[in-house]
Chains A and B, each alone.
Chain A
């Protein structure tokens, strides 16, 4: 039998032995040291610690243990596999083995000894974290989280890895092989398996979402317990099997067999848990598939509009009980005898009745198919009451979102936050329309029929009762009644939401709108953090809000704007049919717990950060200015379309690539999506397109810097995709999901920019403003919109729609050199910019030109942050419409110096799609006349003269030579980036060793301004231009040079390019010096060529860091 005494003895001396080993001591000291420094940096004011680390108190033990766990999982392998090492015939082990104890005593004692030393390190690390946590100013402490994370992260990991080490050693009996196998497995789980099969292999808990909320604790406790249970029981089983397999004559055969049976049972139980873990996801997947299939089946049915909806909800702990009184209207052209509604399949319908009594209905998954018992004719209404109760099945949500996106990591840094879409607990409730918590008309997402997009504007009222002392938040006016609350939205809405929790509120009342922040009791970390501007906060917010309304040319359709704190787990995805996330609801923006994902909410931290940055840049401002900036940044959080870029480890050799992200808190949908809707049978995406257009008037160029890393912007990738597929095809193409938003934005911009140029910018904007204001809170058909447009401007979108939706023709633009001069207009000196643009392709197109002008009084210092009011440089925008084959001459006059000009080619063959021209000081030329025009001309832009031949790197006559330089292992470990990007970013500091195509608007190119570049070297890499000439003659040879990399660095450009020119009289090796700051065609020499000899080579032998191969020009003499 097992002897506790023996186990304790063995454990005691195992602890002594391990804790005295250098290996363990070094590990212990390093772990404690590193985590001490980590906590020092993250929890004290020595550094300005990141907000995401401090926001939620449970994050502190979570992060500490994640870091420790990776280290201890590896160290445990070394220590654990040591104890069974029995390579000597007679040694110490035999002195122990011949003692009177069972094998179980021995293995359990050893295991406990091993566990104990690791636990000691864990406790020490947690203690360090806890001490910092309690001492740090403004930090809360979640004591229980320290215990939970230890039990969830460290315990199962150690059990598993110890068990696996013991078992492998018992079977293989070779320490080296055991190490290789186990360390290999660890590396595999860390770098390859990661989240595969729903984190099944994630024994270190590095990927499984474990974040704990202060609202609801662990929202996925079942999933976590099952997952961690897998490894705990697997470890337990392995240890039991080790008892059985121990190479020592058993003292008690019975015990040995018991350990075998227990081992098998524990491993079996763990496999059962694995299965249950996987099935949980598979089951959801099946539910989703069957829901979509049902939707497909019913999507073509006529749907009713719900005009009124009175919801009476009772919150009863883990469930809700609802009486839903609905008024439906048949707005179709034909009568119907079936009403189709949808409701979350987790909610069970108890009864449906009309005034006349109970109604017959059929429940299929989420669908409720009701037979009203009579025909409902067009324009008829029908009332019914549905009683239902239950909980939310989240498999029903986000049916359009693919599995990969749904499984993707969510959370800052190392944190993994579980994604939840609804909450119903006794202390907290959060329900949005995506969960289908109240009956809605029609079906949900269908893959075959866009009719499902059906929307209605409903006059809601809602009564809420909850047994708990918690506060509900929803749309509309709130009335506290004797029992519960009543919400009455002032206008019909497409959706309502409900949050119930321990909320407190802070409110700013302005004339039109009431701004409120609802936060969990105890979560007021923000009040008083902007002391210098506390009297002007309201004014700044109102000003920013009004500015934004002006920018998007829409007014806010509601009288409240509430920011409501939600549990950290509340996550949402972007649907293709709206720019908004579920986070944004009418009147409400749900904001994650303590704003963990946005450092902008950490006002004090932001101010410190600004101050520190200003110390580096020698700019200094007052505290007040910093605080204004912090508040402005917070406001920007809601009015920026794009979020912070997501830095992903690219597959390309350990480089990091930024990826554009949408800003989920973007407030724009509250201005349009929840108050207007344009419905179209033929082009259902039109509402989204209008939304994209309205939104684009405020879009910014913040992401242009990303091309530097990615090589191609997402807009350009959208353009590349549009060259092969029509818009309608792309909308169906799941492969293109990452750029579909860019496609929609570009297409929307083009469609409406065309109308805008024809109708006149201001007139069109006014038309839209009035139209949407007149049609607030109702849906309008596309035909009605089009008629109004026709009435006003004699213009119809019909003409453009088919081609716009289904055509794949694209314009392509050629530009003449852009010339800027100072000219005189009477006594005034003006700046004049002139150039010519041609669209020689077979499709109409539009370009946007934006001039950035210096502020009044000429050039000023380029303060990156200006004065902190978000005031930008003065910009002027021009939109030019070019029909197919047209060329326009453009001349513009400005009072101030233009600093920079950018041409956006929108949807076109041009890459880069943004051409940038910087203007150094303009030259004076007072002789020429000052003129301003946009006029058609018959002379298209010529890129080639009669006697010229140009070979660009895009041409088939261009090729490169490079030796195979990578070993098989490198290729296997770092497979070449096979992403859809044809071009990569330009990295002069880490240039590629092989010729790599890249783009830049200052390179040469017809539509694609690209070049190939390579790191300088020994001359083993060559770029070759074979020039197809017709006539033997003397030619001047030019090279198009653009010192991209030198321009970026402060050093003087150095080095030279080494060419080899093969001509009739042999070869010549001219050098092109990079010392002078030239751009454009540089003369290499004049040579006599015949058709078969004209070859120019450029080698990578140079002192310059980077060699760029672009274009060669031959000019016949």
Chain B
């Protein structure tokens, strides 16, 4: 499977450029789409799931055009939107059955088996006769995932997958996706939670204000941050000062002050040592330093 995105742009009627000239190739496996709120992640996803038409550019799935071949593309998609609710009057199993029917599973026996299997996989088998209004937030989310996966889609697009999930559920969810990603499918995760990507994705893209600012493996992004992450032992005065001047990634209270992780090119005047960056550091570094600098230049 391969999704090719060429010069994709979306301008809303109010003139807001949600996406600008995005070029991207997504291949089999888990693909993470990272970016702050309003970066254009959801727009890109809605375009990919054929809910929205791009203003410019094109996208293809295995050479099938997203606009011309909606029927085929929709048939191979599974989608879980960010704010997923479902008909409160339908039971869990009914909703899955509904999704299965719409995705073309005509044989009732096959469908029943698929529904039951999926309910078990997402841990909702016990709640199969419960109505939506009686499900917890996490259960609803799992049901959302289940409906996205019910037709064994070739492309799964999930917007903010772990929002609202407790840590245990989050891990379970990641594992579920990881198992699936071994098949010949593409899973696109859009998130602003870095941990979701670092633990699962082999490829990722970084979006900011509608523009693609990075694409490649997460390690490559991390590499670029090497030498810019500092661990500082700080007293109260330093802590306040650092917080004012640099992006602080974490601060852990220790005896006599704080242990603070800071992302910065240079850290003058503080007792600091360089540490190995992770994806979170890389993301912050990228957003705070690289992009800001560029914007400053552009503004000048």
Contact = CB atoms under 8 A, between A and B. Distances in A.
Contacts of B86: 92, 95
A89 B84 CA distance: 10
B159 interface: yes
A89 B81 CA distance: 10
A17 B90 contact: yes
Nearest to B69: A251
Contacts of A9: 98, 101-102
Contacts of A101: 74, 102
A937 interface: no
B94 A16 contact: yes
Contact of B102 (A16, A89, A92, A96): A96
A100 B104 contact: yes
Interface in A88-126: 88-92, 94-101
B70 A249 contact: yes
Contact of B53 (A21, A97, A249): A249
A90 B79 CA distance: 11
A91 B89 contact: no
Interface in A1-50: 5-6, 9-10, 12-13, 16-17, 20-21
A24 to B, nearest CB: 10
Q: Which of A97, A100, A248 has the most CB of B within 10 A?
A: A100
B171 interface: no
A1096 B204 CA distance: 99
Given A98-B77, A249-B70, A17 B89 contact: yes
Interface string A63-103: 00000000000000000000000001111101111111100
A252 interface: yes
A20 B89 contact: yes
Contacts, number: 85
Nearest to B81: A90
Contact of B50 (A6, A89, A90, A249): A249
A5 B90 contact: no
Interface string B71-103: 110110101111111110110001000110111
B34 to A, nearest CB: 19
A5 B107 CA distance: 11
A28 to B, nearest CB: 14
Contacts of B52: 249
Contacts of A251: 70-71, 74
Contacts of A248: 51
Given A90-B42, A92-B84, A92-B86, A98 B101 contact: no
A98 B89 contact: no
A543 B274 CA distance: 127
A92 B87 contact: yes
Nearest to A8: B101
A97 B99 CA distance: 11
B106 interface: yes
Given A13-B98, A21-B89, A5 B106 contact: yes
A490 to B, nearest CB: 77
B101 A94 contact: no
B5 interface: no
Interface string B122-147: 00000000000000000000001001
Contacts of A97: 51
Nearest to A102: B71
Interface residues of B, number: 36
B49 interface: yes
Contacts of B98: 9, 13
A10 B90 CA distance: 13
A13 B53 contact: no
A100 B103 contact: yes
A252 B71 contact: yes
Q: Which of A16, A20, A94 has the most CB of B within 10 A?
A: A94
Interface in A236-260: 248-252
B79 A95 contact: yes
Contacts of A98: 49-51, 74, 77, 79
A94 B104 contact: no
Interface in A210-261: 248-252
A99 B148 CA distance: 10
A21 B88 CA distance: 9
Nearest to A13: B98
Q: Which of B80, B94, B102, B144 has the most CB of A within 10 A?
A: B102
A5 B84 contact: no
B79 A91 contact: no
Nearest to B102: A99
Contact of B99 (A17, A91, A95, A252): A95
B31 to A, nearest CB: 18
Contacts of A91: 81, 83-85
Contacts of B83: 88-91
B147 A95 contact: yes
Interface string A251-273: 11000000000000000000000
A335 to B, nearest CB: 89
B51 A94 contact: yes
Contacts of B89: 16-17, 20-21
B106 A13 contact: no
A328 to B, nearest CB: 80
A17 B89 CA distance: 6
Contacts of A12: 101
Contacts of B81: 90-91, 94-95
A746 B224 CA distance: 113
A100 B159 contact: no
A249 B50 CA distance: 7
A5 B42 contact: no
Nearest to B95: A13
Contacts of B102: 6, 9-10, 96, 99-101
Contacts of A20: 89
Nearest to A105: B102
A17 B87 contact: yes
Contacts of B53: 249
A13 B87 CA distance: 10
Contacts of B101: 5-6, 9, 12
Nearest to A248: B51
Nearest to A99: B102
A113 B153 CA distance: 28
A6 B84 CA distance: 22
Given A6-B102, A99-B102, A251-B70, A94 B85 contact: no
Contacts of A95: 79-81, 84, 86, 99, 144, 147-148
A89 B38 CA distance: 14
A565 B242 CA distance: 105
Contacts of A89: 83
Contacts of A252: 71
A250 B74 CA distance: 11
B71 A94 contact: no
B74 A90 contact: no
Interface in B48-72: 49-53, 70-72
B128 to A, nearest CB: 15
B114 to A, nearest CB: 15
Contacts of A94: 46, 49, 51, 79, 81
Interface in B36-50: 42, 46, 49-50
22 contacts: A9-B98, A13-B87, A13-B90, A16-B89, A16-B90, A16-B94, A90-B82, A90-B84, A91-B83, A92-B86, A95-B99, A95-B147, A97-B51, A98-B79, A99-B74, A100-B70, A100-B71, A100-B72, A100-B75, A249-B70, A251-B71, A251-B74
Given A16-B94, A90-B82, A100-B103, 4 more contacts: A13-B90, A95-B99, A249-B50, A252-B71
Interface of A: 5-6, 9-10, 12-13, 16-17, 20-21, 88-92, 94-101, 248-252
Query: Would you list the 7 A-B pairs with minimal beta carbon distance, nearest first?
Result: A100-B74, A9-B101, A20-B89, A90-B81, A99-B102, A100-B75, A98-B49
Interface of B: 42, 46, 49-53, 70-72, 74-75, 77, 79-87, 89-90, 94, 98-99, 101-104, 106, 144, 147-148, 159
